[in-house]
Amino acid sequence: MSDVIALRTPLYPLHLEFGARFTPFAGYEMPVQYRSGILAEHLHTRSQAGLFDVSHMGQAFLDGPDHETTARALESLTPADIVGLAPGRQRYTQLLNADGGIVDDLMATRPPGANGCIALVVNAARKAADFAALRASLPANVVLTVADDAALVALQGPAAAEVLARLAPGQGVETMAFMSSRALALDGFDVTVSRSGYTGEDGFEISLPAEDAMAFARRLLAESEVEPIGLGARDTLRLEAGLCLYGHELDETTDPVEAGLTWSIPKRRRAEGGFPGAARIQAALAEGPPRKRVGLRLLGRAPARAGAEIIDVSGEPIGRVTSGGFGPSIGAPIAMGYVTRDHAEIGAPVGLVVRGKPLPASVDALPFHPHAYYRG
């Protein structure tokens, strides 16, 4: 049997140059940390600006004859309001299976000046499943085009807007609204920028041709506030921010309501349905789901990892941890998981079973660390 060759992003040589330690992720060889380590990278992102290589994510475009047609096609597979998506705006939503389970979570953007086009960003590990599901369900007049020649980087942290504004003077980067998108020229690079990200901090995701990725990343890293950040800190940042990770908090058995993503389903879609698994989701909205995603704060110093059983005060199993670790900004171990609805009250005492021993914890509010998204 031949060894499987891992895929590499266009920024792989730069990761080597900055001393990255690599890990396999979604078929790619990705940097998990650099020389300074996960703790320092995490805190740097919270205080200044971190540059993340997210080129392993899937980028694609849906193109139809007009916005209404393309939007209705995507709405038939997701519970978001895509019809009402204004030019230059972005939505977070979920691709659903027939039972209302989450095939993937994704970003959908309506590019300004491109009638009938919707840009998608999907998770790396789900690209093949997502694109197959889309192609199987789209009407003949809506075409999916995968952008294999595009790279994607994320600049996250309180200094991100100042850094980008320096590269694009007079273009209004610093006043872009949260979840907005526009085409920009950043120091001579033609890019598409959205004010969004996966850390809970203010920041931007920047799509550009793969051939420009190395030079553009170098340009960003030349700014004093910017350091490269690996997947390790990306995970601790999103855990503190209470953000879901596909394969942990989300999978094809989980619906958006129990996952705490009800905010992403607008009133019109809740009422009219018209998306896969609508009956299950409408019932969960009306009656409450049988289980809920919750934050978990451990009372000691030992962490609990994904898969740990959650028990109530009498020792009865009530759920499982989906993500867990040490929160550098919190200074304590934290976790997320699913528990039965009657054990989801904030402050409820629980135990997380690690190596056969229950560690004392309590249900905590999410996010653990406050979001710092730009609100204008």
Does the model's pTM come out above 0.95? yes
pLDDT at 2: 45
Residue 82 identity:
I
CA distances from 268 to 71, 182, 256, 282, 311 (A): 14, 27, 16, 12, 38
- At residue 375, the 3 state secondary structure works out as coil
Q: CA nearest 53: which of 7, 104, 12, 24?
A: 12
Q: DSSP strand E in 169-263: where?
A: 181-186, 189-194, 203-209, 226-229
pLDDT at 4: 65
pLDDT at 113: 86
* Residues 6+ positions from 189 with CB-CB distance below 8 Å: 208, 212, 215, 216, 219
Domains and CATH numbers, the chain: 12-53+150-240 (3.30.1360.120), 290-376 (2.40.30.110)
- At residue 6, the 3 state secondary structure works out as coil
Residues recorded for the chain: 376
pLDDT at 5: 73
Residue 326 identity:
F
pLDDT at 114: 86
pLDDT, one tens digit for every residue, the chain (376 residues): 445 678 999 999 999 999 999 999 999 999 999 999 999 999 999 999 999 999 999 999 999 999 999 999 999 999 999 999 999 999 999 999 999 999 999 999 999 988 999 999 999 999 999 999 999 999 999 999 999 999 999 999 999 999 999 999 999 999 999 999 999 999 999 999 999 999 999 999 999 999 999 999 999 999 999 999 999 999 999 999 999 999 999 999 999 999 999 999 999 999 999 999 999 999 999 999 999 999 999 999 999 999 999 999 999 999 999 999 999 999 999 999 999 999 999 999 999 999 999 999 999 999 999 999 999 8
Which structure tokens are listed for 111? Answer: 């590019």
